[in-house]
A and B are shown apart, each in its own frame.
Chain A
Amino acid sequence: MGQQMNFQVVLLAGGVSKQLFPLVSKELPKALLPLGNKPLLSYTLEQLESSNLKSIIVVVAGEDVAEQIRAWISGAYDDRLSVESVTVAEDAGTADALRAVASRLTAEHILVISGDLVCDIPLGAIAATHCRKKASMTALLCALQVAGTSDGSSGSTGKEKAKQQSSNDVIGLDPSHEFLTFMASAARIDKQLQIQRSIVRAFGRVELHTDLVDDHLYVFKRTILQEVLEGCPGIRSIKEELVPYLIRSQLQRSNPTIQSKPLTENGGEQFERKIAPNQLVKSPLEQASLLGAQANNMKCCAYIVNKDRYCARVNSVQSFIDVNQDVAGERAVHLTGYDISRSNNVIHPTSKLGYKSTVGPHCMLGEGSEMGDKCSIKRSVVGRHCRIGSGVKIMNSVVMDHVTIDDGCIVQGSVICNNAHLQERVTLKDCQVGAAYIVSGEHQGEALAKRDKN
């Protein structure tokens, strides 16, 4: 068991995410959002289970949400996992969440995993890297996935992508790609990047990457984690504050920082920046220096995901749609445990297809859903017990459970939540339809939801 290898797992299940606004609500927290017709959290839990990590601390933001998640876990995983759930305030940051469970942590290493991570990376490999390097922190880094999304995405989402890319995190690695030397999250980058000279000196060379994403899976050494959490009460977020803080304090020397060349972002261009050699103290024997300088200090390691592994986070509407498509196709269908058909889609046997209806690849059709004639579904996930009329076209979309779509609708790049109703000849493009909302007419790029302010 995990305890045997001295590991403890903290699963940050989150609460009601603002980024996923119309999709999630008090009734449907982010953790229970259906992804490939399974709750999002189940992916993480199953991954943990398959790695033989069966004792998990789940941290949830918000009382109501916690209650729901607790109920769901105890129903679904009662006999398999021993889950302890902890509730924190709704607006608590991720580091606050860790602080809330700090007193429960006893093992030597703490694996912190975000509930919205969908991946098939063997957790053992990350843990092994952490142990092997005797690191104080190991972060999972994943190459930014462009190829999977550029096809099939419509124009506006592409633009959205570009916007995202322009605000990428900057992650610094040493030449061997084993150690983290720098990390600045997109939100905190001004025009200039500051890199400590001591780090550059110790590592010989620092590569700055903007093509890597921090995937919110960390392994911490407990003592250091607790020390930092206690010592710096100002730290609220793991990614934005705690991790950069640990990286900065890798070489505990208080050297004045030097300013590296100003970093100006130019659009969504993908590139790997290497600081010009004349700008840093480049040692002829980097490896040796690395060993020498690293011997006594805390180390921050990176585990970079292999290209053939699947790794994605669900933290925006677009990524939600993308990941849904992936789990419905051969790329990540193994995560769901469904059997994939020959035409690269998953169709539940109880669903009914009308005359001349087609379901393309990367599609999923849930239990008991019915479709009228001459429908076409492409790269979309349709939930359970949906009623779809005749002549409906659904592309690049996610339709959750119990949705009624009347005849002649066209849905593109949209998410339609539970119990929503699309009246006849509705055209949706890049819209999000909230739960139990009734849509009529034509919409583009809107979030349609009931304003239920209590």
Chain B
Amino acid sequence: MDSRRGSRFVIDPKIRQVGFVPAGCESENPNASSAVAAIANVDVNPTSDSPSPVMIPPRLADPLPRAAPLPVPSPPPRKHTSVEIPLQGSYNPTDSVLGTSPPFSPASNGRYAGVPSSEGPDLSPSFVSRASSAMEGMSLREDHLGSPSASRFATVGEYAMFKQQQPQQPATAVTKVYASSLPQEPVQSFAPVGKEDSSKPLKERTTKAERRAKQEADREAKRIAKESAGAKVVEGEARASSNVVGKASRAQSQKKDSASEKRLSAVEKASEKEKKKEIPAPRMQFDDQSRVAKAKKRALIEQTETKHRVELFRHLPQFVYGAQLPSLEAKFFHDDAMHPHPAVYQVGLQYLTGDITGGNARCIAMLSAFKELIKDYCTPRERTLIRDLTARVNNNVSFLTTCRPLCISMGNAIRFLKTRIAKLQLTLSESDAKSLIIAEIDRFMQEKINYADNEITKLAVTKIKDGDVILTYGSSCVVETIILHAFSLGKKFRVVIVDSRPKLEGKGLLRRLLGRGISCTYSHINAVTYIIQEVNKVFLGASSILSNGTVYSRVGSASVAMVANAFHVPVMICCETYKFHERVQLDSICFNELGDPDALVKIPGRKGLSELEGWSQSSHLKLLNLMYDVMPADYVSMIITELGMVPPTSVPVILREYRKDPIL
């Protein structure tokens, strides 16, 4: 595996510029240094109302898959002179702070480079100084720092000091900042978060020795956890859907208040709790057995884990596929507090059986179901609408998650909905509040999905010229509308549809395009290197785009993009901005979705692969049906969003600037 990874790395040297830069290379690589500056910037400037492109530091517990390639000295970056980058003029990655490739936590930087932790002190002061310089250039952002965040600033300042005192542990500092800068649950209004944070230093200000002890214990615990966790990676992404964890941490903080009285006796305990608090609410890790057991108790669907779990993906849910639907159906008419709303139930069923697929379709279905839910909602006595409705939404979301893991865009939509609910004025009457939220949902669907698609179509069509040969992979509804629109404008072009098993989604697209009389070529991904030679543009859809410009998309897209890149064919990703996410992901392992392994065995119209017959009986065979993969930003020439055509490095800017006012 190492050797394979290594060789891939040689082919694709640019990936290092995205984030992983060995400390030694820092000076030679302008990209990297700007990345570091951005980190520092992040450290100092965590305003909660402008979700900065803070990266969630991976929990430093994953040395296996990524450590290997890094010590390889970096070959000089390849030049792709012939690649047309449409926005070349405005885009200069080296001097734009906003446009830098994603910032990365210095800790992980050091770690991946194999630098001993003693190097920490050297790094962090420079971060701070650089950060201040970066801040001068950030007047734009500072303008938006409202008064509520001022107190936060103090907190952050203290964190910075704290960090200097404990230079070996920059990661924790970053994590803390992150936790305060992004509300873990959008539901919580900012005020309580701020309060909690500002009260925390008071608590901590005990004695220096005690803090020291706490730190020591903390570090020790971390190391143990790291060793035991194996391949576990925590993307410290506070997913809206992981309300469970949010609740847990809230409960902990409450407990902590009472526990703080017996502080003297419970230094160790406190440090443990502290540690828990510092780690941002992680997504459910399915190799954490106690948590899985807890989740199972709550879940409506009975899920039995497969015997054939793929080790590397143990942290993802791997359930027996066939068992879910009957158990869900059996409970159709059941009546308990946990029962989701009928509309949500219906959508859940459709997710489970694959009747609704595609990011936009799923998101719209979910939002429509939530609209129904809110319409039918009435506040129970002695409850407030805001809290109760949020709980209700959470319930329904967790039901949907058990049906099929939510995609990132849906997470964003849920976050939006919950912020809207949380921000409702208490004085509103119930009916007013409901109609307000329904109107907001409608607006979201209109603006963020429908209009966005229209706008993307308009923009992308300008990139299709007569005589073009366009390649697309799988079936993306945006790409489809683009092609249809371009065709209706009378452009003469040809479409190559590349498809892959097991889903063969391209067939549907092919059929619809042929229905309109567009000349098409249909091929499977095995032939992509051949077919790419006649192609001059690649249009792809995306499930999500992460803030380092990484495109998270249907499995296979990355290969197509890589091949296109190698043949100097521009790759254009069509994606609405509501699918953008602050997270950074460098591989498709830590977060992904696993499909039905049986889909690999079954071939429509054929009896199936005889070699794989009865595979579930064999203990040696494990099938892995990954649903998504990750395309490094280097392969992407351009991202077409409703806000314009931007380079992948501008994703953090869009995230920062357009989500400040949380319309999303």
Judge: A and B partners, yes or no. Answer: yes
7 CB contacts below 8 A, A to B, read A1-B333, A4-B333, A4-B342, A5-B345, A122-B330, A134-B346, A291-B508
What is the minimal beta-carbon distance from A303 to any residue of chain B, in angstroms?
10
Interchain CA distance A124-B349 in the complex, whole Å: 12
When the two chains form their complex, are residues A288 and B512 in contact, meaning their CB atoms are under 8 A apart?
yes
In the bound assembly, the distance between CA atoms of A260 and B321 in angstroms comes to 40
Complex-state Cα separation, A122 to B325, whole angstroms: 12
Chain B residue at minimum C-beta to C-beta distance from A51: B333
A128 touches B508 (CB 8 A): no
Contact of B510 among A1, A108, A122, A285 (CB under 8 A): A285
* In the complex, A152 has a CB within 8 A of chain B: no
Q: Cβ of A129: which chain B residues have Cβ within 8 Å of it?
A: 329
Residues in B neighbouring A284, C-beta threshold 8 A: 511
**A53-B333, A123-B333 known; A285+B346 contact, CB < 8 A:** no
Q: Is the pair A4, B332 in contact by a Cβ cutoff of 8 Å?
A: no
Contact of A292 among B328, B339, B512 (CB under 8 A): B512
Q: Bound complex: CA of A287 vs CA of B350, how far in Å?
A: 17
> How many pairs of residues, A versus B, come closer than 8 Å at their CB atoms?
74
Q: Once bound together, how far apart are the Cα atoms of A1 and B325, in whole Å?
A: 20
Kindly identify which residue among A123, A127, A287 contacts B508, using a CB–CB cutoff of 8 Å. A287
Nearest-CB residue, chain B, relative to A176: B604
A108-B342, A123-B332 given; name 19 further pairs at CB < 8 Å. A1-B333, A4-B333, A4-B335, A53-B333, A122-B332, A123-B333, A124-B332, A125-B329, A125-B332, A127-B333, A128-B328, A129-B329, A131-B345, A132-B350, A134-B346, A287-B508, A288-B510, A292-B511, A292-B512
Q: Which residues of A contact B328 (CB under 8 A)?
A: 128
Give Cα A125–Cα B329 distance, bound, in whole angstroms.
5
Residue in B closest to A125 when the chains form the complex, CB atoms: B329
Does chain A have a CB within 8 A of B355?
Answer: yes
The residue that A5 contacts in the complex, of B326, B330, B332, B353, with Cβ under 8 A, is B332
Please provide the chain A residues from 302 to 334 with a CB less than 8 Å away from any CB of chain B in the complex. none
Cross-chain contact A52 with B350 (CB below 8 angstroms) = no
Q: B443 at the A/B interface (Cβ < 8 Å)?
A: no
Q: Determine how close the nearest CB of chain A comes to the CB of B208; give it in whole angstroms.
A: 59
A-binding residues in B (CB < 8 A): 325-326, 328-335, 339, 342, 345-346, 349-350, 353, 355, 507-508, 510-512, 515
What does DSSP make chain B's interface, helix, strand, loop or mixed? helix
Give, as a whole number of angstroms, the nearest-CB distance from B290 to chain A. Answer: 31
- In the A-B complex, the 7 residue pairs with the smallest Cβ-Cβ separation, listed nearest first, are A124-B332, A288-B511, A125-B329, A52-B333, A288-B508, A128-B329, A132-B349
Q: In the bound complex, do residue A287 and residue B507 qualify as a contact, i.e. CB atoms below 8 Å apart?
A: yes
Please determine whether B342 and A6 come into contact, CB atoms closer than 8 angstroms: yes
Which residues on B sit within 8 Å (CB–CB) of A133? 355
Q: How far is the CB of A325 from chain B (nearest CB, A)?
A: 28
Complex CA gap A322/B334 in Å reads 33
Q: Report the Cα distance A127→B335, complex, angstroms.
A: 15
Among B330, B342, B515, residue most surrounded by chain A Cβ atoms (within 10 Å): B342
Indicate if A7 sits at the interface (CB-CB under 8 A): yes
CB distance from B342 to the nearest CB of A (A): 5
Which of A52, A131, A133, A292: most chain B CB closer than 10 A?
Answer: A131
A7 to B333, CA, bound (A): 9
Residue of A nearest to B333 (CB): A52
Contacting residues, chain B, for A53 (C-beta < 8 A): 333
Inter-chain contacts of B345 with A (CB < 8 A): 5, 131
> Could you say which residues of chain B place their CB within 8 Å of the CB of A6?
342
**Who on chain A is nearest to B515 by CB?**
A292
> Does A289 reach chain B (CB closer than 8 Å)?
yes
CA distance A134 to B368 in the complex (A): 14
Known interface pairs A125-B329, A132-B349. Does A1 touch B507 (Cβ–Cβ under 8 Å)? no
Are A128 and B511 in contact (CB-based, < 8 A)?
A: no
Query: Does A39 sit at the interface, judged by CB under 8 A?
Result: no
> Known contacts A124-B329, A287-B508: does B355 contact A52 (CB below 8 Å)?
no
**Complex Cα–Cα for A364 and B123 (A):** 86
Residue of chain A at shortest CB distance from B508: A288
> Chain A nearest CB: distance from B377 CB in Å?
13
Contact A285 B332 (CB under 8 A): no
Taking a contact as CB atoms under 8 Å apart, the answer to whether A131 and B333 are in contact is: no
Interface members, chain A 90-127 (any B CB < 8 Å): 108, 122-125, 127
Whether A2 sits at the interface, judged by CB under 8 Å, is yes
Q: Most A CB atoms within 10 A — which of B331, B333, B339?
A: B333
Q: Write out the residue numbers on chain B whose beta carbons fall within 8 Å of the beta carbon of A2.
A: 333
Nearest chain A residue, comparing its CB with the CB of B511: A288
Closest to A285 in B: B511
B355 touches A132 (CB 8 A): yes
Partner of A132, one of B339, B346, B507, B508: B346
Given contacts A131-B346, A133-B355, A285-B508, contact A125 B333 (CB under 8 A): no
Q: Please encode chain A, from 270 to 306, with 1 for each CB lying within 8 Å of some chain B CB and 0 for all others.
A: 0000000000000111011101100000000000000
Is B330 in contact with A125, judged by CB distance below 8 angstroms? yes
Residues in chain B near residue A4, CB distance under 8 A? 333, 335, 339, 342
The docked-state distance in angstroms from the alpha carbon of A288 to that of B508 is 5
> Which residues from A are CB-within-8-Å of B353?
132
| Chain A minimum-CB-distance residue to B332 | A124
Cβ-defined contact, B349 with A289, below 8 A: no
**Closest chain B CB from A109 CB (angstroms):** 9
**Which B residues touch A288, using CB under 8 A?**
507-508, 510-512
With A52-B335, A285-B508, A289-B511 in contact, do A128 and B349 touch (Cβ < 8 Å)? yes
